[in-house]
């Protein structure tokens, strides 16, 4: 989905009384009529006092009166839906020939070839940069008129000047003379033009100048350098003037997204997903990797899958493929992944972009994109304990001495270590999984221990979080959180938040605190005792609140949301 950016330029002076807004459109001349008509709709939603168009409203450049009238009839239909007054600025296409200028005067009035008007203490000057076939200048009679008009309205709170051609960019024009005239009046706030089919703000000869393009043809689309369709909304509060540049498509009606639309679109939006691959730092990677896509919608849908490889050492073949799926159908997507043996940061691993198209009820066609990520999970072993530990938080039982250490907690996917390290160990017996976590902490008096029932938000405290995926399906998992204050928070698959279903204990040491867990297999629907072939998804997270908040993981997940079981590590049971 395209990002929509609103640029704001502010000119401030002393506060005044008149308050209103007006919109300014640039070139249109039927290049992209659907975009121009959308801009008209968007302007109506914002309800400015009036609209000014800086010229080139029709295709023009003809001597055929019948053709000219047809074009003006078409343009009038385009702006017929505007609910506020409209002020035209003559453009070169609108008046480039004698018949064009005559019919412009016929359509808009003889007084609209160049003119001025007032609104709530501000004065607006409309000039003609192609008057009487004088192309690209302000004619002598207009210059004389403008001089008188400016002097007559010298006391206006604000003066705004509009023309079609940006004469300040044309060295052959009489801009310098006109700019010298405008600079005599400090209440001239801006000069606005079109013609160039781009957007640009610049200060020229001490004047704030704008070039606008509503829907005129562009050779390319590049918003950062001015090539995009737009209109300008100008807000006036006394002598304070604010201009907001609004790209086409930015303004939506309040009912743009309805519940009906959301419910239907949710069937097309694929949830985030991910998978795990062998560690390429141990041996070269050469695998056929498969993941699955389901069409949840009620119609045949086409999904395009494209693999991105941030690290060029990886290859993915085929890089792009398409699936056509019937409603409800689940189908696998396979790719051959290869990489030489070396260490790869997690953020440099390949990922797949999955795109499908969705047509809204209003007829807008949009692309929906989801992402399938890969992770190289760290691994640890849970060893069988004939004499399991006592749950007191001390971590001093003999059984813990034979357990494997889980270390290297990280604060980001770049692998940066936590400031204060943590280690964990795991054991199991016939009925329980035991987890011990040791949290180094030199400032025990600064531990945050405020969480309390009925729903304790333990992650606002110093705490330890355990994530368990017993099925290792990379989809469902349980959570067991314990704060430094001994308060527990827990969830179970398909049940959500539940009362703590595990035994736990917290101990405060000299320069650390620790927590022990005793987790029943039965609650996790694991009625069989784990064997040496049993593998779970598993992760440990620590929250440290002071002196500054730090969140560290054994296998780094996103900070939020943390519902990413493909980013868990692997817990292998060994008897």
pLDDT tens digits, one per residue of 35-67:
999 999 999 999 999 999 999 999 998 888 998
Instruction: Please answer whether residues 400 and 503 qualify as being in contact, where contact means their C-beta atoms are separated by less than 8 angstroms.
Output: no
What integer is the mean pLDDT of 485-506? 94
Instruction: Please answer whether residues 61 and 93 qualify as being in contact, where contact means their C-beta atoms are separated by less than 8 angstroms.
Output: yes
pLDDT tens digits, one per residue of 424-470:
999 999 999 999 999 999 999 999 999 988 889 899 899 999 999 99
CATH of domain 259-375: 2.60.40
| pLDDT value at residue 432 | 96
Reported CATH class of domain 7-247: alpha beta
> Would you say residue 545 has pLDDT above 90?
yes
Query: DSSP string covering 36-104, please?
Result: HHHHHHHHHHH--SEEEE-S--S------HHHHHHHHHHHHHHHTT--S-EEE---HHHHSSHHHHHHH
Which of 255, 324, 331 is closest to 291 using CA atoms?
A: 331
| pLDDT value at residue 12 | 38
Which pLDDT band holds residue 17 (cuts at 50, 70, 90)?
A: low
Which pLDDT band holds residue 5 (cuts at 50, 70, 90)?
A: very low
> Would you say residue 7 has pLDDT above 50?
no
> Would you say residue 14 has pLDDT above 50?
no
| pLDDT value at residue 2 | 37
Question: In angstroms, rounded to a whole number, what is the distance separating the alpha carbons of residues 14 and 237?
Answer: 10
| pLDDT value at residue 561 | 66
Query: DSSP string covering 432-466, please?
Result: EEEEEEEEE-S-GGG------SSS--GGGSSEEEE
Burial class (CB in 10 A: 0-12, 13-18, 19+), 53: buried
What integer is the mean pLDDT of 118-145? 96
| pLDDT value at residue 362 | 80
Instruction: Please answer whether residues 397 and 300 qualify as being in contact, where contact means their C-beta atoms are separated by less than 8 angstroms.
Output: no
What would be the CATH architecture of the domain defined by 379-574? Sandwich (2.60)
Question: In angstroms, rounded to a whole number, what is the distance separating the alpha carbons of residues 228 and 249?
Answer: 11
Instruction: Please answer whether residues 389 and 427 qualify as being in contact, where contact means their C-beta atoms are separated by less than 8 angstroms.
Output: yes
E strands present in 340-364: 351-359
> Would you say residue 11 has pLDDT above 50?
no
> Would you say residue 224 has pLDDT above 80?
yes
How would you classify the pairing of strands 379-384 and 569-574?
A: parallel
pLDDT tens digits, one per residue of 243-277:
999 999 998 887 777 888 888 888 998 888 999 99
Which pLDDT band holds residue 552 (cuts at 50, 70, 90)?
A: very high
Q: Which range is most confident: 216-220, 268-272, 401-405? A: 401-405
> Would you say residue 295 has pLDDT above 80?
yes
> Would you say residue 8 has pLDDT above 50?
no
How would you classify the pairing of strands 320-325 and 301-308?
A: antiparallel
Question: In angstroms, rounded to a whole number, what is the distance separating the alpha carbons of residues 233 and 187?
Answer: 19
Domain boundaries, the chain: 7-247, 259-375, 379-574
Question: In angstroms, rounded to a whole number, what is the distance separating the alpha carbons of residues 79 and 62?
Answer: 22
The whole-chain average pLDDT of the chain stands at 93
**Is there a common fold for 7-247 and 379-574?**
no
Which of 481, 458, 480, 459 is closest to 469 using CA atoms?
A: 480
């Amino acid at each position: 989905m395209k990002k929509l950016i609103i640029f704001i330029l502010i000119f401030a002076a002393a506060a005044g009384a008149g308050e209103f807004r007006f919109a300014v459109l640039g070139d249109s001349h039927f290049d992209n009529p659907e975009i121009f008509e959308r801009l008209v709709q968007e302007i109506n939603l914002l309800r400015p006092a009036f609209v000014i168009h800086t010229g080139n409203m029709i295709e023009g450049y003809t001597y055929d009166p019948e053709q000219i009238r047809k074009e003006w009839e078409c343009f009038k239909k385009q702006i017929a839906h505007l609910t506020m007054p409209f002020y035209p600025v003559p453009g070169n296409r609108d008046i480039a020939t004698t018949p064009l200028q005559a019919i412009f005067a016929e359509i808009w009035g003889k007084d609209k070839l160049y003119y001025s008007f007032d609104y709530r203490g501000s004065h607006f000057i409309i000039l003609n940069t192609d008057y009487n076939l004088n192309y690209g200048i302000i004619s002598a009679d207009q210059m004389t008129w403008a001089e008188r008009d400016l002097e007559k309205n010298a006391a206006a709170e604000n003066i705004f000047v509009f023309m079609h051609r940006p004469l300040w960019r044309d060295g052959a024009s009489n801009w310098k003379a006109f700019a010298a005239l405008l600079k005599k009046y400090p209440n001239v706030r801006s000069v606005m033009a079109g013609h160039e089919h781009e957007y640009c703000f610049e200060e020229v000869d001490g004047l704030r100048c704008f070039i606008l393009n509503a829907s005129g043809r562009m050779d390319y689309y590049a918003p950062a350098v001015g090539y995009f369709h737009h209109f300008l909304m100008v807000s006036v509060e006394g002598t304070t003037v604010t201009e907001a540049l609004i790209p086409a498509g930015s303004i939506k009606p309040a009912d743009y997204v309805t519940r009906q639309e959301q419910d239907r679109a949710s069937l097309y939006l694929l949830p985030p997903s991910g998978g795990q691959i062998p560690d390429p730092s141990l041996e070269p990677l050469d695998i056929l990797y498969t993941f699955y896509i389901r069409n949840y919608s009620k119609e045949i849908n086409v999904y395009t899958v494209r693999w991105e490889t941030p690290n060029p050492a990886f290859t993915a073949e085929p890089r792009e493929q398409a699936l056509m799926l019937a409603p409800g159908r689940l189908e696998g997507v396979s790719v051959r992944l290869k990489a030489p043996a070396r260490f790869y940061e997690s953020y440099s691993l390949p990922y797949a972009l999955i795109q499908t198209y969705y047509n809204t009820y209003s007829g807008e066609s949009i692309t929906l994109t989801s992402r399938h990520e890969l992770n190289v999970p760290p691994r640890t072993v849970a060893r069988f304990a004939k004499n399991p530990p006592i749950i007191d938080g001390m971590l001093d039982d003999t059984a813990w001495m034979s357990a494997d250490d889980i270390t290297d907690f990280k604060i980001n996917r770049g692998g940066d270590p936590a400031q204060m390290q943590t280690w964990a160990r795991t054991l199991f017996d016939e009925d329980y999984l035991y987890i011990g976590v040791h949290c180094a902490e030199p400032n025990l008096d600064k531990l945050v221990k405020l969480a309390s029932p009925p729903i304790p938000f333990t992650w606002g405290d110093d705490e330890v979080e355990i994530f368990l995926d017993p099925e290792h399906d990379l989809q469902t998992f349980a959570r067991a959180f314990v704060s430094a204050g001994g308060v527990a928070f827990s969830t179970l698959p398909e049940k959500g938040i539940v009362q703590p279903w595990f035994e736990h204990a917290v101990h405060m040491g000299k320069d650390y605190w620790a927590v022990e867990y005793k987790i029943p297999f039965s609650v996790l629907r694991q009625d069989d005792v784990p064997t040496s072939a049993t593998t779970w998804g598993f992760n440990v997270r620590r929250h440290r609140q002071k002196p500054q908040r730090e969140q560290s993981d054994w296998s780094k997940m996103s900070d939020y949301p943390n519902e990413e079981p493909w980013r868990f590590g692997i817990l292998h049971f060994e008897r």
